[in-house]
Amino acid sequence: MSKLLVVGLGNFPYPLTRHSVGHLVVQSLADRVGISISADKRLDGLVGRGSVTLAENDVSLTLYLPKALMNITGRPTVNAMKSLGFQPSSMVVIHDSLSHRPGVASPKSGGSAEGHNGVRSVMAALGGSKDFHRLRIGIGRGDGNVADYVLGRLSSYEKQYWGTDGDGIDVVLRELAKIANGQPRPG
């Protein structure tokens, strides 16, 4: 059985903002597949575990939402990864992406952090390793200050699309199935 650790990046003090879309996606994923997420003080975040069927294959799925603010999320994410018995190659980090339009989920493995401080923090905590999967959730790029934009509220379309019954979670499940089934990793 394949094992995946799916990490949703975000900022708990700013729920349902563009910067916290990773949290929304993982929470919606948990609801969709029936995994209960609860606080785990030892891991400094919220954790849920369960077995699911993805593309006709059984997968042991662990979901993790670090409580640390986005820019310092690396250490708790890597500590959770190690404590839960995962290797970086079995980790999928879901985060917002200014480079993709809303409603897009773009897989990536390796490469640069593309200016994303949360991803940069995870890479630093892994000693510079980039050997993990990412699922970039498009939020577009607004006019003006980037910090103000990413802390802005998700549109009703985005909340519905990435919500429990939204089409976006179908996309996420398909991408997780590809990763779990060992399909070639995107560059």
Quick: pLDDT tens for 79-115.
Answer: 999 999 999 999 999 999 999 999 999 999 988 999 8
Instruction: Check: CB of residue 48 under 8 Å from CB of residue 31.
Output: no
Residue 43 per-residue DSSP state: G
pLDDT, residue 186, reads 43
Does residue 70 carry a pLDDT above 90? yes
Does residue 184 carry a pLDDT above 90? no
Q: Which CATH number fits domain 2-180: 3.90.220.20, 3.30.365.10, 3.40.50.1470, 3.30.1360.180?
A: 3.40.50.1470
pTM of the model: 0.95
Q: Which residues of 91-114 are buried (b: 16+ CB within 10 A; e: fewer)?
A: bbbbbbbbebebbebebbbeeebe
Structure tokens at 80: 């959770």
Average pLDDT score over the chain: 94
Instruction: Check: CB of residue 92 under 8 Å from CB of residue 135.
Output: yes
Instruction: Check: CB of residue 96 under 8 Å from CB of residue 16.
Output: no
pLDDT higher for 83 or 143? 83
Does residue 185 carry a pLDDT above 90? no
In the predicted model, what is the mean pLDDT of residues 67-72? 95
Catalytic residues: 19
